Structure 1
Amino acid sequence: MKGKLFITGFPGFIGSRLVRELLKRYADIEVVALVQQKFMHAAEATRYKIVAGRTDFENRFSFVFGDITKDLLGIADWKSLSEQITHVFHLAAAYDLGIQREVGMRINVEGTKNVVDFARRCKNLVRLDYVSTAYVSGSSTGVFSESDFDRGQRFKNYYEETKFIAEKVVRDTPDLPYVIYRPGIVVGDSLTGETSKYDGPYYVLQMMRSLPNYFPFPRIGDGSAEVNLVPVDYVVNSMALLSGDADSINNTFHLVDPEPMKVKELQDLFVKKLNKKFLFYPVPISLARLSLKMPVLRNVYQMPVQLVDYFVHQVHYENQFTRDFLSRYGIDCPQFNRYFDVLLKFFIEHDSESLQGIMI
């Protein structure tokens, strides 16, 4: 890869790591990150860490201030910039299972439309790389592969719905060379445990950690639903490599665990590693939803009600096409139980340092 790459989602959890990896992997690429004014200090601090000790990065990484929800991304001199850009990487999104539809439509859908519009104005555009989510599958059950998209599915929340609509925007844009990435639930680094956001399985982990032994703990469903967790380093390395591979254009990649753990297996793993004992009791999903809408129980269990549906949803994300593609680079998704100890150690040491408000 060579040219000038424009990226959204900096200084987010994945975006920051991806910028570093792209600069390291491709010596002939310059990176321009779109940064909201309110994240200026965080962006500057993150940039300092990225370029520290790397003089070859200093002149290849810059910011432009703007906002994906605005026409032409709110960039003052968008025309001059568009004439220089060869690659666009769109990560910015509002990641929140409890998001209101209006907010999701504005950030996830209108934001994507604005990025696509900017990309189409780039006369030298080689490709647009777009980060979607495996959960565009919505209510689909059974096997959901890279070639699947619109099955007439419903959605469990507005996050899923607006990410589905946003992916459709990318797919339906005429003559747009795109690549779509659909990660599972992204957790910390498999080698260091590092993360800057604690959601998904971290909600359950925090709940178990805070409750005393022998406290009643709900068992939602029969525990057989898969939970597709992927470490951030696997996701970033995969996207960095695929974004430099011309054969990846006009393809969709599932960045998921091909052999994910099930809900009960995860709960048992958490209990064992935390050295806890709970009084598990079965709870119908309807009662679990109702309970978590009650302020008292929500404060006790500290888990968003929208998460409940994932405890029982039976879907398997097939990614044989992605694995075959990544095999040329020797990349595989590690099994969760092999790096969980590292995640847990980091979580215990840093769980009060979560960055809030960053677009992922």
Structure 2
Amino acid sequence: MALVTVFLTGFPGFLGSALIDRLLDRDRRVACLVQPKYREDAERRAAELVGDERGDDPADDRKDRIDLYEGDITEPDLGLDAADRDRLQDAVEEVFHLAAVYDLGVSRSVGEAVNVRGTEHVLDFAESIGDLRRFQYVSTCYVSGRHDGVFAESDLDVGQTFNNHYEATKFEAEVAVQARMDEGLPTTIYRPAIVVGDSRTGETEKYDGPYYLVHFLLEQPGFAALPRTPGADDCEVNVVPREYVVDAIDHLSALSRSEGEVYQLCDPNPPTVAEMTAAFAEATDTRVLSVPAPKGPTKRALSLGPVRRWTGIEPAVIDYFDHPTRYVGATARKHLAGSGIEPPPFGSYVETLVEFVREHPEIGSDARV
């Protein structure tokens, strides 16, 4: 029986690498679009996924089931040469589009090129496939922008404003995906909340989002003063660990009833900003003094070179200290029921995240672009 060939963008990235592991377990052949500058990283990661060091039964042979194709989603035809494009159009039956710029400080031009036009190019490729089973697209809960209130899976354009170009361009990308879905492209959309490291090991690819706070606290001599913007006691920070997101996508993507659905992969009981700060303070053994401070001056101060170098905190993070949106994922919970797949409580793995940061100071905050 011929293996189903899956085309995947976003390898060797954080989520893409973990998802390929699951697809191989489902006896899939995976064709990865890889930027030339990441070719070496992709080859190394692919070798780890199929290598003998995994200790698997020899009968479970993954070798020769990961194929790397050099290209770039920002280019027409994904930057593939004609022979590769034709080969893939004939072989591929399912597309997983994960590639994006996950960076709160991304410029408008880069966000448009990668998140918007890149997604349109992958959509064009998917539509060129003669027998496409499904277009699996990874969006983000933060297409919500600064929506004041509950944002559900059925919501998209609710007249929201946006914190940054990352949110705005991911929103525009999902608008394009939903338009093609409405025109008949068989599609499933996944909106993860803020993805942090594995809850069991702490493993992550880069330190951004909540990690800016962790890193800052670890650099202090047991005491730190932190700005406390209005709303910290009420505004939620919705984070989920990597394995939950990957497990959920793996499970949901295999369901026939997931076609046409939007799934928000979020924590149903997220901590508030104040609760998350307290949890990180305890895990880093740091006494924190909360200093009331308005958001605007705090962001401007963090934008100053000396302050930015001292704190290491991206100014855009401050917008999430008073983020007014709450996320619900009723359809995701319904379709995951009985699978055992659910996000663990943040408090159950916060120490694991912090310990990983302690042990891996070499990891940075730069996004793959």
Which category describes the TM-score, using the shorter chain as reference length? over 0.9
Task: Return 53-62 or 251-260, whichever deviates more.
Answer: 53-62
Question: Which amino acid in 1 is paired with 2:348?
Answer: R
SS for the counterpart of 1:38 is helix
1:98 alignment counterpart: 105
Q: 1:65–1:245: structure 2 CA closer, same or farther, 3 Å change rule?
A: same
Question: Which amino acid in 2 is paired with 1:40?
Answer: R
CA distance in 2, matches of 1:298, 1:263: 21
2:276 alignment counterpart: 266
1:132 alignment counterpart: 139
Alignment of 1:8 onto 2:9: yes
CA distance in 2, matches of 1:15, 1:188: 14
Q: TM-score, normalised by structure 2?
A: 0.94
SS for the counterpart of 1:56 is coil
Any stretches of 5+ residues in structure 2 without a counterpart? none
2:172 alignment counterpart: 165
Question: Which amino acid in 1 is paired with 2:221?
Answer: P
Q: Is the 8 A contact 1:226 1:261 kept in 2?
A: yes
Question: Which amino acid in 2 is paired with 1:349?
Answer: E
Alignment of 1:119 onto 2:129: no
Q: Is the 8 A contact 2:20 2:30 kept in 1?
A: yes
Greater relative contact order (Cα < 8 A, sep 6+): 1
SS for the counterpart of 1:189 is coil
CA distance in 1, matches of 2:127, 2:156: 23
1:155 alignment counterpart: 162
Alignment of 1:240 onto 2:247: no
Q: Is the 8 A contact 1:218 1:282 kept in 2?
A: yes
Question: Which amino acid in 2 is paired with 1:35?
Answer: V
CA distance in 2, matches of 1:328, 1:181: 19
Deviation at 1:225, TM superposition (A): 0.8
SS for the counterpart of 1:80 is helix
1:212 alignment counterpart: 221
Deviation at 1:121, TM superposition (A): 0.3
SS for the counterpart of 2:338 is helix
SS for the counterpart of 1:272 is helix
CA distance in 1, matches of 2:149, 2:283: 31
Alignment of 1:307 onto 2:312: no
2:189 alignment counterpart: 180
Which among 231, 238, 262 is matched to residue 228 of structure 1?
A: 238
2:355 alignment counterpart: 345
Q: Is the 8 A contact 1:84 1:124 kept in 2?
A: no
Q: Is the 8 A contact 2:103 2:166 kept in 1?
A: yes
Deviation at 1:220, TM superposition (A): 2.2
Q: Is the 8 A contact 1:119 1:128 kept in 2?
A: yes
CA distance in 2, matches of 1:302, 1:278: 17
Which among 88, 108, 113 is matched to residue 95 of structure 2?
A: 88
CA distance in 1, matches of 2:366, 2:144: 27
Any stretches of 5+ residues in structure 1 without a counterpart? none
1:292 alignment counterpart: 302
Question: Which amino acid in 2 is paired with 1:208?
Answer: L
CA distance in 2, matches of 1:112, 1:17: 21
Q: Is the 8 A contact 2:224 2:286 kept in 1?
A: no
CA distance in 1, matches of 2:133, 2:367: 31
Q: Is the 8 A contact 1:198 1:351 kept in 2?
A: no
1:40 alignment counterpart: 39
Q: 1:306-325: per-residue Cα shift (whole Å, max 9, x none)?
A: 11111001211011211011
Q: 1:237-260: per-residue Cα shift (whole Å, max 9, x none)?
A: 110111111110010000110100
Q: Is the 8 A contact 2:217 2:224 kept in 1?
A: no
Deviation at 1:80, TM superposition (A): 2.2
Deviation at 1:356, TM superposition (A): 4.2
Deviation at 1:221, TM superposition (A): 2.3
SS for the counterpart of 1:226 is coil
Deviation at 1:280, TM superposition (A): 2.1
Question: Which amino acid in 1 is paired with 2:225?
Answer: P
1:50 alignment counterpart: 49
Question: Which amino acid in 2 is paired with 1:39?
Answer: Y
Q: Is the 8 A contact 2:225 2:291 kept in 1?
A: yes
Deviation at 1:357, TM superposition (A): 4.5
CA distance in 2, matches of 1:212, 1:112: 45
Q: Is the 8 A contact 2:308 2:314 kept in 1?
A: yes
Q: 1:157-187: per-residue Cα shift (whole Å, max 9, x none)?
A: 0000000000011110121111000000000
Question: Which amino acid in 2 is paired with 1:68?
Answer: I
Q: CA RMSD of the aligned region, Å?
A: 1.5
SS for the counterpart of 2:99 is coil
1:20 alignment counterpart: 21
Q: Is the 8 A contact 1:11 1:358 kept in 2?
A: no
Deviation at 1:2, TM superposition (A): 5.7
Question: Which amino acid in 1 is paired with 2:6?
Answer: L
Task: Return 32-41 or 51-60, whichever deviates more.
Answer: 51-60
Q: 1:195–1:33: structure 2 CA closer, same or farther, 3 Å change rule?
A: same
CA distance in 1, matches of 2:67, 2:364: 25
CA distance in 1, matches of 2:363, 2:32: 24
Q: Is the 8 A contact 1:188 1:343 kept in 2?
A: yes
